[in-house]
Amino acid sequence: MEELNRTRYQEKLRTAAEVAQMIKSGDEIFFSEFVLRPELIDEALALRVEELTNVKLDGVCICKIPKFIEADPQRKHFIYSDWHFSGVSRKLYRQGLCSYIPFTYHQGPRVIRKYKNYDYVFVSARPMDSQGYFNFGMCNSLTSAAITKAKKVIVEINENMPHCLGGNQESVHLSRVDYIVQGNNSPILEIPPATPSEIDIQIAGHIMKEIENGACLQLGIGGLPNVIGNMLADSDLSDLGIHTEMLVDSMVDLYNAGKITGNKKTTDRFKMVYTFAMGTKKLYEFLDNNPACASYPVNYTNDPRAIAVNSKVMAINNAVEVDLFSQVCSESSGTAQISGTGGQFDFIFGAFNSRGGKGIIALSSTFKDKKGDVHSRIVPTLRPGSIVTVPRSCVQYVATEFGIVQLKGKSTWQRAQALIGIAHPMFRDELTAQAREMKIWFDQA
């Protein structure tokens, strides 16, 4: 069988230019995810820019501007849409070169299977193994679902990608691949951990008080998760588990410190479960053929029902602003899209349903605008056009540098009072007056 696979492999080999020539005007394409992208195919497609119109490409949180976008600065030929905004996507959005696709992350594969019909799916993958499989590396996510809805599947090989064990659907067999491009084996893009601020450290201190032995963690990217990871590594906590959408460097440090065992997990016991990984070379080397890690499609990792099966789930997520009604906006600044719903709703909802679980929204109490003026992130009402990422009915904990409050079971008055209590002191009187004006603040309970 191995010899037959090798023969079929050779039959399916194409150059990037040959693949690009297959694309027709009006085609719809799924274009890989996160730090992985088929670079040679991207470059070859960009060279055809003047020959094509209305080619629609969907990606997921791109971390580097594709060549096909650089080749089409007026968006006359390639229409790019992103399922989740990175800093790169956000920049392109402001230039009118990128659209956002709203969805909750765990429903992504179902949305694709119900409503998408891709002409081509471009996937970055490991070289074929002896059984004829191409491993997706650090990005499982939506890829396997996209492949099921593709007329043609093209794999671009990158030998520098770590081999990431499943889980489920972490690979695709040669029989389901139409063409193979030998890539240029570029080093995997690294995303260095963000430097934590003093405020991040203060917020983390409040959150740490809520974490117990045997907790199952979901941490994202940014300064705050890194601080929490460092604090956990130095703590007396033990037998922690991981069930997350994103695996990051801080989790490697926790594992190496002996804090992560997965011994108390109900499902995927002893496994660090994730749907994509993004970080530095340290993370990528840790993932390579590591049986402690399990890659799954996002309809498993982020399904609130799957999340809730484990006990003491700690889901920690950032926000842009929270209003006095306890509505959470985590993805836009007014009408400007800056991120996406991603898996925040999935994990906040799932964590609450976990036995002993806690879903925490964390944010600094203030921010400075371009003029240097200070504004509160806890506001009377969300700014016009702001997107509600987590509705008030689903919000459990909110944390700032001034404390952490639990809102479930509390009235609108009690919620407003609690949130004002963790707002910056310079804004509390003003917020109280505005709460009275909106009839959600009473001087007596």
Residue 230 and residue 305 in one domain? yes
pLDDT in tens, 33-65: 999 989 999 999 999 999 999 999 999 999 999
Name the strands in the sheet holding 378-379, side by side, starting at the edge strand that comes first in the sequence.
Answer: 328-329, 321-323, 378-379
Residue 296 and residue 423 in one domain? yes
Structure tokens, 103: 């969805």
Distance (Å, whole) CA 82 – CA 93: 10
Residue 148 and residue 287 in one domain? no
Task: Kindly report the CATH number assigned to the domain that includes residue 281.
Answer: 3.40.1080.20
Q: Domain ends where: 151, 182, 213? A: 182
8 in a structural domain = yes
442 in a structural domain = no
Q: Domain ends where: 125, 156, 182? A: 182
For the stretch 115-135, what's the b/e string if a residue is b when 16 or more beta carbons lie within 10 angstroms of its beta carbon?
Answer: ebebbbbbbbbbbbeeebbbb
pLDDT band at 6 (very low <50, low <70, confident <90, very high): confident
The region of weakest confidence among 33-47, 209-223, 340-354 is 209-223
Structure tokens, 359: 């879903």
Q: What is the CA radius of gyration of the chain?
A: 23
Distance (Å, whole) CA 275 – CA 273: 7
pLDDT of 445 > 70? The answer is no
pLDDT band at 171 (very low <50, low <70, confident <90, very high): very high
pLDDT band at 5 (very low <50, low <70, confident <90, very high): confident
444 in a structural domain = no
Characterize the bridge pairing of strands 246-247 and 276-277: parallel
Q: Is 234 helix (H, G, I), strand (E, B) or coil?
A: coil
Q: Domain ends where: 148, 182, 216? A: 182
370's CB contacts (< 8 A; 6+ apart) are none
187 in a structural domain = no
360 in a structural domain = yes
**Quick one: 439 exposed, middle or buried, by C-beta within 10 A (0-12, 13-18, 19+)?**
exposed
Residue 34 and residue 116 in one domain? yes
Could you say which of 39, 156, 170, 245 is catalytic? Answer: 245
Residue 165 and residue 203 in one domain? no
For the stretch 385-412, what's the b/e string if a residue is b when 16 or more beta carbons lie within 10 angstroms of its beta carbon?
Answer: ebbbbbebebbbbbbbbbebbebeeeeb
Residue 245 and residue 340 in one domain? yes
pLDDT of 444 > 70? The answer is no
Average pLDDT over residues 74-95: 96
Nearest CA to 106 among 390, 347, 442, 320?
Answer: 347
| Overall number of domains in the chain | 2
C-alpha 58: how far from its chain's center? 16
Residue 160 and residue 230 in one domain? no
What average pLDDT does the chain have? 96
Residue 173 and residue 203 in one domain? no
Percent pLDDT > 70 in the chain is 99
Structure tokens, 444: 């007596």
Is 430 an annotated catalytic residue?
no
Phi, psi for 39 (deg, rounded to 5): -65, -40
Residue 214 and residue 81 in one domain? no
Q: Which domain holds residue 30?
A: 2-182
189 in a structural domain = no
Task: Indicate yes or no: pTM above 0.85.
Answer: yes
Residue 136 and residue 261 in one domain? no
pLDDT in tens, 361-420: 999 999 999 999 999 999 999 999 999 999 999 999 999 999 999 999 999 999 999 999
pLDDT in tens, 97-153: 999 999 999 999 999 999 999 999 999 999 999 999 999 999 999 999 999 999 999
Cis preceding linkage at 205, omega within 30 = no
Q: What is the pLDDT of residue 220?
A: 74
Residue 255 and residue 388 in one domain? yes
Distance (Å, whole) CA 235 – CA 73: 50
431 in a structural domain = yes
191 in a structural domain = no
Average pLDDT over residues 246-257: 94
Residue 217 and residue 141 in one domain? no
pLDDT of 221 > 80? The answer is no
Task: Kindly report the CATH number assigned to the domain that includes residue 144.
Answer: 3.40.1080.10
